Amino acid sequence: MIDKKSAKKILSKFPKKNILVVGDLILDKYLWGEVERISPEAPVPVVDVKEESFNLGGACNVAWNISKLEGNVYIAGVVGEDYNGEILLNMLRDHKINPIVVKDKKRPTTEKTRIIAVSQQLMRIDREDKNKLPHNIQNRLLEEIKKIIDKIDAVIVSDYGKGVVTKKIMDFLVDTGIPIFVDPKPSNFNLYSGVTIVTPNKKEAYECIKKDRSIPVDKVGKEIMKKLGLENLLITLGSEGMALFTEGELIKIPAKAKKVFDVTGAGDTVVSVLALSKISGGSWIQSASLANYAAGYVVGEIGTAAVDRDTLLSLIP
C-alpha cells in the first residue's frame, strides 16, 4: 500500500507544510496518589496526591501530532479566562504549536481530571461547557483565523462536540477551497458537507446514519458519503485497521500494531498523518496506509503518544 521509497519522499515534505487545526481544546489533568484509608466522612477512599501532570487533549493532541512530525501548526479554539487556560497556552507554545486562541470569560477551559491510585483510575472529573460558542466569540475566532488562512495548506477539524465547530466556521473553511480533514462528532455530522474527507471510527460512522451494526460497513460508508456529498471517507476500525472509500472503491487496510497498550489518541494520529501525507503528494491509499502505520505505533505506547518522522519511516518494510 505504501513502500519505503514513497514514504521517504512524502515524509521529506512534511516540514514545509502549514496546517491549521480547528476544534475543541482540552486540558488533560492527572492526579497520581496513594490510598491508605477510607474517609471518615463518607464510604470513599482518601487519595493522598503525590504528583500532578498535564497532557494536551482533544484538538491539542492533533496539533501535537503535527508538531512532532515537524509540520508548522496553528491551533484555533477557545479557552476560559482561567488558570487552566494559561497552562494550556503555555503547553501549546512549549510544544511548538502556534495558538490562535480566543478567551471566553463566560466558559471554563475544558478540563478532564483523572484521579489515579494503586495503578487504577478511581474517577474522572470533567469541567466544561458544551454549548455552541456565542456569536461574538465565533466572530472573534474567525477574525483571528483570517489573519493566517492564506498560508495554510490543509485544515484539520478536530470536533469533540464542545461548541467550537459551528456552521458559520465550517462554511467559512469550506469556502476557502483549502483541503479539509474532519475527525467528526456524530451529533454535528450535518456540518461537514463538502469537506475533503471525514475520519469517523466505526461507532461514530454507524451513529452518523443511525443504523444498527447488522448493516455492512461498505453500505454505511456509501450512505455517509451520499448524505454529505463526500468524495472520500476513512472509517477507522480499531483492531481491524481501516476502510478507505475513494474513487468509488472500498479499500480495506489491515491494522499494523504489534502490541497494544493504550488506544486513546489513535484517531488523532490518523487524521494528522493522513492530512500531512495527502498534501505532501501522497495518494489517498498511500496516505491512509501511512496513517495506519503511525496509529499502529502510538497504540503500542503508554499514554497518548505521537510519532516522529524517523520512527514512522522505520516502521515501513
Ligand X SMILES: Nc1ncnc2c1ncn2[C@@H]1O[C@H](COP(=O)(O)OP(=O)(O)OP(=O)(O)O)[C@@H](O)[C@H]1O
Residue ranges in contact with ligand X by CB under 6 A: 201, 236-239, 241-242, 255, 257, 260, 263-268, 270, 292, 295-296, 299
Copy the grid coordinates of residue 113: 481530571
**Smallest distance, Mg ion to C-beta of residue 201, A:** 5
**Smallest distance, ligand X to C-beta of residue 142, A:** 27
**How far, in Å, CA of 59 to CA of 64, rounded?**
9
Give the CA distances from residue 151 to residues 18, 145, 262, in Å, rounded to whole numbers and listed in that order. Answer: 7, 11, 35
Point out which span in 8-16, 61-69, 162-170, 263-271 binds Mg ion (CB under 5 A).
263-271
Pair 128, 108: CB distance under 8 Å: yes
Asked if 267 interacts with Mg ion (CB under 5 A), we say yes
Angle, helices 284-298/4-12, rounded to nearest 10 degrees: 90
**Smallest distance, Mg ion to C-beta of residue 183, A:** 6
Residues near 90 by beta carbon (within 8 Å), at least 6 away in sequence: none
Residues near 194 by beta carbon (within 8 Å), at least 6 away in sequence: 174, 228, 229
Decide: helix, strand or coil at residue 154: strand
Instruction: CB nearer to ligand X: give 67 or 272.
Output: 272
The residue of the chain with the least Cβ separation from Mg ion equals 267
Q: Which does 260 bind (CB under 5 to 8 A by kind): ligand X, Mg ion, none?
A: ligand X
Instruction: CB nearer to ligand X: give 170 or 234.
Output: 234
Is-catalytic flag, 268?
Answer: yes
**Per-residue binder mask for Mg ion (CB under 5 A), 212-251, x = binder:** ----------------------------------------
CA dihedral 250, 258, 269, 311 (to 10 degrees): -120
**Smallest distance, Mg ion to C-beta of residue 36, A:** 37
Asked if 200 interacts with Mg ion (CB under 5 A), we say no
Asked if 23 interacts with Mg ion (CB under 5 A), we say no
Residues near 186 by beta carbon (within 8 Å), at least 6 away in sequence: 200, 204, 207, 208
Q: Which does 205 bind (CB under 5 to 8 A by kind): ligand X, Mg ion, none?
A: none
Decide: helix, strand or coil at residue 104: strand
- Residues with a catalytic annotation lie at 268
- Per CB under 5 A, residues contacting Mg ion are 267
